[in-house]
Amino acid sequence: MTPETLTPGATGLDQLERLWRTEAPARLDRACRPQVEAAAAAIAAAASGEVPVYGVNTGFGKLASLKIAAKDTATLQRNLILSHCCGVGEATPRDVTRLMMALKLLSLGRGASGVRWELIELIEAMLDRGVTPVVPAQGSVGASGDLAPLAHMTAVMIGAGEAEVSGRILPGAEALASAGLQPIALGPKEGLALINGTQFSTAHALAGLFGAWRAAQGALVTSALSTDAIMGSTAPLQPEIHALRGQPGQIEAAATLRALLEGSAIRESHREGDSRVQDPYCIRCQPQVTGAAMDVLRMAARTLEIEANAATDNPLVLSQAGRIVSGGNFHAEPVGFAADMIALAVSEIGAIAQRRVALMVDPTLSFDLPPFLTPAPGLNSGLMIAEVTTAALMSENKHLATPTVTDSTPTSANQEDHVSMAAHGARRLHRMVANLDAILGVEAMCAAQGVEFRAPLETSAPLVRVIARLRAEVPTIREDRYLAPDIAAATRLIATGALAEAAALPLPAL
């Protein structure tokens, strides 16, 4: 697979998403090398000097006041990595770990970390040859950086820890050797540069963002299908309504829904003589809710794109000023806020989708659809419990959407007395997006079933294509059957984007 060439400070979300989805190798644009090497030279000079420089010739955290002899600086860095490998829990998914490694390349490539070029080359080689460190998912509080997770990544680079190679978990040194690579001995500050950063939190947040956006696109398609299933009105989609408010996501969502429903015979059949004056909010306010969630996701995306390109370790080498300065770029507060924003958006997209599911299975609200969307209610329960499952997932996401960035606690003997909790704030997004995909998968099943009950009237051409794609894997439910595989298949169609793509219409881009 051809490596992605990353430009430090200017790598976009589209490239990062490709890295995550394809697990392609990554390498830095070689134009950054002179600045990287200049910073490394500055650190080497500081290490041989008498002036204390944090993390170069001193201890760490609360122990920063202790001076370390020049002869011990290599041991200092190795000890730092080994002592910080304190992660617990399940292993981080491989695609996220690889994205984290690519983000670390981007950070080091800014030329402010003071590492040798050899470290960058080793990370690139690991990505290229499929050496993926086993990184326990729990243990970071999001300041001073993602210390424990990044230590587990770095441990493999020095021949410790564990890594996955071709599906096998091997000791670090053995994993490197199997790929024709050698462990590296860390120089001054290099261990600190590798573990003091936000790349674990940012990688998880980006993965959550990419999944959430795909789900938002899917929600526009399933909600259009639901609108026709209950014979809802398209009057609330008129562009003038949304222009008067001016919210960009709302305007874009309404335009997409109009395009999806254009030409529906079902819609045309009840423009006149419909006794209903207004649809429930879950139909009428789709642009206002899903569009607002899209705006929030885009705000989070801008933050994460900046963070992905940032130098976030400490201290930083300010080459032009000729100084090495301690700061706080390792604090993952921006990532924590972005993760909370994504969580809120995911929760709300699912909340309104679940209400559409509830609407369709309820014969008192669905405008003459049979109870629970089965042709023979009573003998058959139809989609009764599928709707209950969506309620459970919606409620779970509401709880998971509780902000995490507000939950600070002091650590490291009160030296690190305010932290971001960005790591688990970002990690929960995987579970939340999976829940949302399942809610939307069930909505697609219900809506397709509802539209089919409107025969001989047909929905729009784009939505006919969507139903055909669904039916290729989830047949019409004519009598009760084992539904779990159907829900799983519909969920996959949402998660992969295949259902939305079947509409063959332009969808909003992140």
Contact in structure between 106 and 308 (CB atoms under 8 Å):
yes
The yes-or-no answer on residue 54 being catalytic is yes
> Positive or negative, the Cα torsion across 444, 235, 287, 398?
negative
Q: How does DSSP assign 116-151, residue by residue? A: -HHHHHHHHHHHHHT-EE--EEE---SSSSSHHHHH
Give the count of beta carbons closer than 10 Å to the beta carbon of residue 276.
12
Given 54, 60, 330, 367, the catalytic residue = 54
Rg of the chain over Cα atoms, rounded to whole angstroms, equals: 26
> Positive or negative, the Cα torsion across 494, 496, 502, 506?
positive
> Tokens 């909340």 belong to which residue?
351
Ramachandran area for residue 376 (φ above 0: left; ψ -120 to 50: alpha; else beta): beta
Contact in structure between 103 and 203 (CB atoms under 8 Å):
yes
Buried b (16+ CB within 10 A) or exposed e, 109-123: bbbbbbbbbebbebb
What does the alpha-carbon distance between residue 499 and residue 163 come to, in Å, rounded to a whole number? 36
Q: Give the distance between the most distant pair of CA atoms in the chain.
A: 89
> Tokens 């089965």 belong to which residue?
374
Tokens standing for residue 423: 């790591």
What do you get for the CA distance between the two ends of the chain, in Å? 25
Contact in structure between 230 and 366 (CB atoms under 8 Å):
yes
Which among 358, 96, 88 has a CA at the least distance from the CA of 207?
96
What does the alpha-carbon distance between residue 210 and residue 13 come to, in Å, rounded to a whole number? 9
Quote the DSSP letter at residue 477.
-
* Kind plus residue range of the DSSP H or E element containing 449: helix 422-452
Tokens standing for residue 351: 């909340």
Cα-flanking dihedrals φ and ψ of residue 469, to 5°? -65, -40
Quote the DSSP letter at residue 504.
-
**Catalytic residue positions, numbered:** 54
